[in-house]
Amino acid sequence: MDPDAEIMTVHELAEYLRVSISTIYRLAERHELPGFKVGDWRFYRASVDAWMVQQAKVSKTAIYPPRGRLAAAATSTRGSSSCAHPIASPGPLRLPIAGRG
């Protein structure tokens, strides 16, 4: 099976995202999380990874840059625009030194 086509159950996704099972059901029922039903909810890992990157862009609450598959999704050249981390560091803070000028 193609690792990018890996399908996760509600329990597996809850563990992967480190949230409760009820949160997964709530998001899926509201169609806020990409998934489909075959008896119970199922989720493609690649779709969930892309959804997380999009959520970080929209909510601007991401603290750490994405790693692994998320980094690949965020920096993919397949799309028409590039993805910059929403909380990029502007660089070191430079303060003037008294007496120099």
Neighbours of 90 (CB within 10 A): 5
Confidence (pTM): 0.55
Q: Is residue 93 part of a domain?
A: no
What's the number of domains the chain is made of? 1
Which residue has better confidence, 77 or 42? 42
Q: Which of 11-20, 46-55, 66-75 has the highest mean pLDDT?
A: 11-20
Q: Is residue 91 part of a domain?
A: no
- 83 Cβ contact partners less than 8 Å away, ≥ 6 residues apart: 53, 57, 74, 75, 76
Q: Is residue 99 part of a domain?
A: no
What average pLDDT score do residues 34-52 get? 94
CATH number at residue 26: 1.10.1660.10
Q: Is residue 53 part of a domain?
A: yes
Residue 42 belongs to domain spanning: 3-74
CA separation for the pair 93, 91 (Å, rounded): 7
